[in-house]
Homo-oligomer: A and B are copies of this chain.
Amino acid sequence: MQKKRIYIQEVACRDGFQNEAAFIPTDDKIEIINRLSDCGFAKIEVTSFTSPKAIPALRDAEEVMHRIQRNPNVVYTVLVPNLRGAERAMSCGVDEVNLVMSVSETHNQSNLRMTRERSFEQLAGIIGEVKSTPVAINISLSCSFGCPMEGDVPQDEVLSWADRFAELGVHGITLCDTTGMAYPTQVRALFEDCKARFPALELTAHFHNTRGMALANANAAIEAGINRFDVSLGGLGGCPYAPGASGNVCTEEMVHMLELMGMDTGVNLEQLLQASALLPGLIGHDVPSQILKAGPRLKLHNPVGSMARSQ
């Protein structure tokens, strides 16, 4: 029987690195991205073309995009917040621009400093510019599974924003669980509707492990027919509302689980673990990844005595 193909999209270098206090040297970013390009990802989010003032951690966006060795089998995408960012991104020959706004009014205003309608206008302007080029367009909708300030966001609210972007001709829509509020039954219901509504679009699930449910949510999304996931090496990334809690769903834990479940992620777990092992040295602190500590399930050990009756 043909294995189910799952497309894995690495976002650590954007969603993860942007949260790091210390600047990660450009050469180190490039080395990690080059390693990731050989791991078998369908897509890599390389950086964000935002104002260096807003996110100094990613102030080297152009240099990184220009200097990485691109693998023709990988789609290189970047986050762009505005038209200026889109122009900078396209001048670097990106394959895709990833736009973002929040489906929660309060979150959009506190995170992007403007109303959702203003964000939509701006993003519509970018889409108008990019549409005439070969560059693909993805919209990431933050807080699709709940807002840390407003609470639940009605499913119809999420889908109506998705509708508006679909009408503008985006190629893909990502529903983001920005602060780890998603839970399996909700994930399945929302993505089933989304899948039925946008059969022709690339639909991506973007989960955070803030409350431990990331892998359970991934399985619920797969049951709803979703086959694309944003993941983050080492589980990097975070949530300003949950200090100390873990970040995005961990790439190596996701790949490890899905491959064990008989799916084809296209990703090489061994190379992934080698790349992930570099992160603590790079960012100066431990990462949430459990697999990095425990190893894959069949990494065997020599018999040792443990008088604690472990169960």
Contacts and interface: CB of A to CB of B under 8 A. Distances in A.
A285 interface: no
Contact of A142 (B142, B151, B298, B311): B311
A294 to B, nearest CB: 4
Interface stretch (A35-43, A160-168, A242-250): A242-250
Interface in A271-297: 290-291, 293-297
A2 to B, nearest CB: 16
A26 interface: no
Interface string A296-311: 1110111111111111
A185 interface: yes
Contacts of A148: 300-301
Given A50-B309, A309-B48, A311-B206, A150 B300 contact: yes
B151 A306 contact: no
Interface in A174-230: 176, 178-181, 183-186, 206, 209-216, 218-219
A290 B245 contact: yes
Contacts of A306: 110-111, 240
A128 interface: no
A39 B18 CA distance: 40
Q: What band does the interface of chain A fall in when counting residues whose beta carbon is under 8 Å from B?
A: 35 or more
Nearest to A215: B216
B301 A146 contact: no
- Interface centre among A180, A310, A311, by most chain B C-beta atoms within 10 angstroms, is A311
5 contacts: A50-B309, A148-B301, A149-B300, A150-B300, A241-B304
Given A184-B219, A213-B253, A216-B218, 14 more contacts: A15-B311, A19-B308, A54-B309, A100-B311, A149-B302, A183-B257, A183-B260, A185-B261, A211-B256, A212-B215, A212-B250, A212-B291, A239-B294, A241-B304
